[in-house]
Amino acid sequence: MTLSREEVEHIALLARLDLSEDEITRYQQQLSAILDHIAQLQALDTRHIPITSSVLPPRTRLRGDEPKTGLSREQALDIAPDVENRQFRVPPVME
């Protein structure tokens, strides 16, 4: 299994990772090698095997719908990279 350079660039964009040319080359090789190793799973017949997404018994826990105080606005904004008018400031999304 060999990933193309374009595939690696596509995955990096999906994952929102800005990679250098050198990183793209390295990940192309390394991810291909890892996927080769992983390919052994395809040999197992799992047609009748259910998936395991959690090892715990499936159940839904509900709590009472009671208002509680969480983090204050100040606590959340204190650790923010940029704040304006007591809100998170971000760069423009559209031109």
Partner 1 sequence: MADLTAFSVQECITALNQGDVSSVELTSALLDRIAQYENQIHAFITLTPEKALKRAKETDQIRSTLKKSGGETPTLLGLPLAVKDVLCLAGTRATCGSKILENFVPPFNATSVQRLLDEGAVVLGKTNTDEFAMGSSTENSAYGVTHNPWDLTRVPGGSSGGSAAAAAAMFTPAALGTDTGGSVRQPASFCGVTGIKPTYGRVSRYGLIAYGSSLDSVGVLARSAADAEIIFRLMAGFDARDATTLDGSVPDAACSDNPQVKGLRIGVPKEYFIAGIQPAVEAAVRQAISLYQSLGAEIVEISLPHTEYALPVYYLIAPAEASANLARYDGVRYGLRVEDGGMIDMFLQSRGRGFGPEVKRRIMLGTYALSAGYYDAYYGQAQKVRTLIKSDFERAFEQVDAIAAPVAPTTAFKIGGHGDDPLAMYLEDVFTLPANLAGVPGLAFPVGFDGEGLPIGMQLMGRHFDETTLFRLAHAYQSSTNWHLRRPAL
Binding site for partner 1 (CB under 8 A): 3, 7-8, 11-19, 23, 26-27, 30-31, 33-35, 37-42, 44, 46, 49-56, 61, 63, 71, 75-76, 78-82, 88, 90-93, 95
In the complex, the smallest distance separating the C-beta of residue 38 from partner 1, rounded to whole angstroms, is 4
Query: How would you label 18-33 residue by residue, b for 16+ Cβ within 10 Å and e otherwise?
Result: ebeeeeeeebbeebee
In the complex, the smallest distance separating the C-beta of residue 67 from partner 1, rounded to whole angstroms, is 15
Distance CA 75, CA 86 (A): 11
**Residue that is written with structure tokens 């990940």 in the block:** 27
